[in-house]
Structure 1
Amino acid sequence: MSRPRVLLLSLLLLAGAGQAADLGTWGDLYPIREESLLQLITRRLAALQQSGELGQRMQDFQARAVAHSERPAPVPGVGRVATLTTRRFNPAVTLSADIRDNAGRLIAAKGQVFNPLTLVPFRETLYFINADDPDQLAWMKRQVPPTPMVKIILVQGNIPETSQALDTRIYFDQGGALCQRFGLMRVPVRITPAPGGTLLTIDEIPPDTGAH
């Protein structure tokens, strides 16, 4: 069965699902002459296909899927930076389980406060922007990253359009996990390694400023 039919079959099964209870046998039994569930589904699929509704439904579904992949839901509660601020971020966490290497050697024990930057150096620059804001797009084009490796992460906007505008690969903070981790409430933001290598520097930069 083709994938469109499988998807529609699932919808039909869900739509017709209900609860049933065994009430025993009452009176005489007669052969059931009603069409089987499979026959009913086949007949409905044929009718939808003949009317063109099946193809239209699948096109609508595919269009919604593509639209969501290109423009995921914005990260809620993230505004625009108005004042330049700088702060340090400590990525250390209290471990809920032991961390071991491939050979089984203990790297950090459960309950220990562990800073991952002591094990894996951070050598990137992360930019967080709202790509629906023309000022932030223009600001991003003016940036001169202090590290060779750069990631641009959207909190709102169209991924392929932004990738084309900035001529680079674009990421999206779906669900706002990164914003929550770094405590970001406003963008644009630049995150870089701090001197010493165990902390990160988070700069909130108004988009009307020059390159940093």
Structure 2
Amino acid sequence: MRLCARLLAAAVVATVATTPARAQDLGVIGPVYPIAEPSLLEVILGRLRAAEQDGTLARLQRDAQARVRQTVDEPAPVAGLARARQARRFHHDPSIVVQEAILDSDGRVIVPPGTVVNPLDTVRLSQALLFFDARDREQVEQARKLVDARHGQVKVILTGGSYLDLMRRWQRPVFYDQQGALATRLGIRHVPALVTQDGRRLRVDELP
């Protein structure tokens, strides 16, 4: 009996193993609903069309253009600068230490690393640098007098206010100290400040 049972079990296993599998349609189990969630792209496009129709999109574009024009016309004022209330004079050494060797076109070292280089040994400051805040009317008037007294040999650099407006009024180039890079490097803390060359150093005069 045990031998017959084993033979029957083996026959069943062999039959199952050799019978090809077939997919069967088991029918619908429960209700079926269509996918109702809209695509993200359709949602975005729909909102853009609605914003265009009610004028919101045009307003946002005008606001963005106005902000860009404002940023270009009047950059953010340099932080940390105050109005000069008393005269202050100091000197700035523009020397730098060469970190990597400077080579010529043939690969020969012309300036070894560690060399101290002062740019004023080879070039001169052809114009004085005048830093001031154009939002302050007194500083603007004081700057105008300095420019005239030096016969225009002054590079005007704003730390606040509209350089485009001043350029139109003065009919001369006006620059802007973006993020206070120059003022920080020169150690300027108060404006107006006039920078001139004094030998191998730069002299900074903060003018009350």
Which category describes the TM-score, using the shorter chain as reference length? 0.7 to 0.9
Aligned: 1:205 with 2:194: no
Q: Which amino acid aligns with 2:145?
A: R
For 1:200, what is the secondary structure of its paired residue?
A: strand
1:192 maps to: 196
When structure 1 is superposed on structure 2, of 53-62 and 34-43 the one drifting more is: 34-43
Q: By how many angstroms is 1:100 displaced?
A: 4.2
* Distance in structure 2 (CA, Å) of the matches to 1:106 and 1:31: 76
1:157 maps to: 161
For 1:46, what is the secondary structure of its paired residue?
A: helix
1:11-47 Cα shifts (integer Å, max 9, x gaps): xxxxxxxxxxxxxxxxxxx974533222222111111
2:41 maps to: 38
2:95 maps to: 92
1:80 maps to: 83
- Work out whether residues 45 and 54 of structure 1, in 8 Å CA contact, stay in contact via their aligned partners in 2: yes
1:44–1:70 CA distance, 2 compared to 1 (3 A): same
- Work out whether residues 123 and 147 of structure 1, in 8 Å CA contact, stay in contact via their aligned partners in 2: no
* Distance in structure 1 (CA, Å) of the matches to 2:52 and 2:72: 27
1:58–1:83 CA distance, 2 compared to 1 (3 A): same
* Distance in structure 1 (CA, Å) of the matches to 2:122 and 2:102: 11
* Distance in structure 1 (CA, Å) of the matches to 2:153 and 2:44: 54
After superposition, the CA RMSD in angstroms is 2.5
Aligned: 1:173 with 2:177: yes
The structure number with the bigger radius of gyration is 2
1:22 maps to: none
| Equivalent in 49, 63, 68 of residue 66 of structure 2 | 63
* Distance in structure 2 (CA, Å) of the matches to 1:102 and 1:31: 72
1:167–1:148 CA distance, 2 compared to 1 (3 A): closer
1:126-174 Cα shifts (integer Å, max 9, x gaps): 1000111111111111124658753111111122222233321211112
1:126–1:93 CA distance, 2 compared to 1 (3 A): same
2:130 maps to: 127
- Work out whether residues 86 and 202 of structure 1, in 8 Å CA contact, stay in contact via their aligned partners in 2: yes
Could you tell me which runs of 5 or more consecutive residues in structure 1 were left unpaired when the two chains were aligned: 1-29, 207-212
**What's the TM-score, normalizing by structure 1?**
0.72
2:15 maps to: none
- Work out whether residues 99 and 107 of structure 1, in 8 Å CA contact, stay in contact via their aligned partners in 2: yes
Q: By how many angstroms is 1:61 displaced?
A: 0.9
1:62-96 Cα shifts (integer Å, max 9, x gaps): 11111121111111111112223332221012233
Percent of paired sites with the same residue: 34
1:73–1:194 CA distance, 2 compared to 1 (3 A): same
